[in-house]
């Protein structure tokens, strides 16, 4: 990977930080980012060079590494964030569906009982 790939990942991460932070809340996003850095760090010790706070996420220190390695770390970090967000959103959607099914079932049962009363 080229150094400009690191620039691309930084731009994607900045956009994600702003957009996703507004949607799920900055503190939840920071937990996701912390988990992603830890997970990436299991494979690449240099992941500790990734900095983050409420203000943003910085890959700048990765520029000190060989460009291909920096790109691999940035890629793994970004994909780890995406995977974790996918699981969170997937879990939330599953809960919402389950709740909706329960509500629909209760309404159907109530309508069924009302129909039996009118028969």
Domain ranges of the chain: 3-87
pLDDT value for 71: 94
pLDDT value for 58: 98
pLDDT value for 117: 53
Mean pLDDT by 10 residues, the chain (119 residues): 76 92 91 97 98 96 95 95 89 75 70 60
pLDDT value for 5: 87
pLDDT value for 115: 57
Q: What is the dihedral of CA 93, 76, 7, 16, to 10 degrees?
A: 10
Long-range contacts made by residues 18-27, C-beta under 8 angstroms, separation at least 24?
20/85, 24/85, 24/88, 26/54
pLDDT value for 80: 95
């Amino acid at each position: 990977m080229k150094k400009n790939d690191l620039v691309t990942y930084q731009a994607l991460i900045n956009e994600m930080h702003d957009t996703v932070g507004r949607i799920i809340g900055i503190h939840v996003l920071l937990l996701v980012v912390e988990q992603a850095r830890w997970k990436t760090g299991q494979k690449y010790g240099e992941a500790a060079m990734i900095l983050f706070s409420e203000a943003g996420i910085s890959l700048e220190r990765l520029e000190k590494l060989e460009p291909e390695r920096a790109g691999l770390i940035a890629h793994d970090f970004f994909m780890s964030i995406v995977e974790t967000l996918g699981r969170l959103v997937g879990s939330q959607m599953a809960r919402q569906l389950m709740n909706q099914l329960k509500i629909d079932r209760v309404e159907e049962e109530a309508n069924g009982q009302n129909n039996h009363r009118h028969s």
